[in-house]
Amino acid sequence: MLSKYIFFKIAKDNRGFSIIEILVAATVVLILTFGIMTSLVTANIASNRIQNRATGLTIARDQMEKIRNMPYDDIGTITKQGKYGEIHQGL
């Protein structure tokens, strides 16, 4: 009988959230928010890397297409100024 009285008294006095419950709930929300934000930042970085790689591949393909369309004798690695790695069209 005493335990029934204690249960009803506790249930009756429990009208709102305690400070501990609010702190625990706020901590859970912060952890979830931090996880979501970290995921978004990581996805943004990955997207930028993919975009940069695609741009680089496009530039490389354009340069290869220019070289393929040049006569064989005009393809070289040294320009008139002696710079290496530039594509030139005849000396």
**Total-model pTM:** 0.53
Distance between CA atoms of 48 and 37, rounded to whole angstroms? 17
Task: Give residue-wise pLDDT tens across range 14-38.
Answer: 566 788 989 999 999 999 999 999 9
83 three-class SS? coil
The pLDDT score that the predictor gives to residue 60 is 94
How many Cα atoms sit within 13 Å of 14 on the Cβ side?
Answer: 8
Report whether 70 contacts 91 (CB < 8 A).
Answer: no
Phi, psi of 19 (to 5 degrees): -65, -35
**Side-chain-facing half-sphere of 45: CA atoms under 13 Å:** 6
